[in-house]
Amino acid sequence: MKLEYREKIEKIAALGESLGAEIIYNEPLSRHTTVKVGGNCDLFIKAPDSKTAARIYFACKDIRLYSMVLGNGSNCLFSDGGFRGAAIVSSDSKSEIEIEGTLIKAPAGALLMNVCKAAQQAGLSGMECLYGIPGTVGGAVYMNAGAYGGEIKNITVGVEAMEADGKVRTFTADELSFGYRTSRFERSGEIIISATFGLKSGSRDEILEKMEELIQRRKSRQPLEFPSFGSAFKRPEGTYAGLVIEQSGLKGRKFGGAQISPKHANFIVNLGGASASDIMGLITMAQKEVLEKTGYSLEPEVRLIPVSQEEDR
């Protein structure tokens, strides 16, 4: 590790500690991704809240230290070589979920599952389709998460995000540029602090019944018994990723410890001991064979995280 890089790491670690964050060196990223793969991160920071996580991220940017804010790791593939920089997470505090009338506000670090449960307990309907998505509020807004015909854009009324100068700005729904599995935040550089959702009053029992029904559908159709990302590829226009993968004869195909699930072909699962290279092998194989056999180009829904963005490590 070069002296300049080590000094950057130490500077951010000291800042994190001063802001109440937990600092961990050489942390295995396999502990922080739902697919359970990924090498070590040089500096892993557990911030006490989403605003602190954003402050640390922009401090990294100021000194040109490679960094990212990581949610629940449900949509990320880190290399076996790890991450040469700082990965930052914020705590999931249920106490920070606020409800006022039919509005529910949650910090970016809150698990989407917990926000759905809070809405149900308050008799608020509209989040049922999102129940079971294994991400955080920030990650769900960032990629416009959705399932069973619904997307988070349909209920989002506002998002607080920090800009590079440290100011927190509130964006209205019309300013969020939501699209299929995308939002303004993939391009803007702002860091999501919180999101407010507009729901409708409903019966707690009926909302719970709908949530449990959708969870059972997930269990029956998706390989939840194995670590995975969730969907591996975005939906191609006019068809479904799982369908064209299956039509290409790839369902059940293995590469090392990874497999294209026999239960749902758009899931790549870790059978035990899979590496990031194994999973990348399946992603590349699926893209190549699906294009050759069906003419469809598959775009990963998974974010492929580089080891580093600099050459002077």
Give the pair of three-digit tokens for residue 81: 């070589």
In contact, 46 and 89? CB cutoff 8 Å: yes
| Pairwise CA distance, residues 70 & 33, whole Å | 9
- Whether residue 203 lies in the annotated active site: no
Task: Name residues whose C-beta falls within 8 Å of residue 133's C-beta, 6 or more positions apart in sequence.
Answer: 74, 112, 113, 140, 145, 147, 230
Of the candidates 181, 246, 248, 253, the residue annotated as catalytic is 181
Within 10 angstroms of residue 131's Cβ, the number of other Cβ atoms is 24
Of the candidates 194, 231, 248, 275, the residue annotated as catalytic is 231
- Whether residue 194 lies in the annotated active site: no
Residue with tokens 């705590």: 91
In contact, 162 and 236? CB cutoff 8 Å: no
| Pairwise CA distance, residues 140 & 138, whole Å | 5
Residue with tokens 């389709």: 129
- Whether residue 231 lies in the annotated active site: yes
Annotated catalytic residues are 181, 231, 301
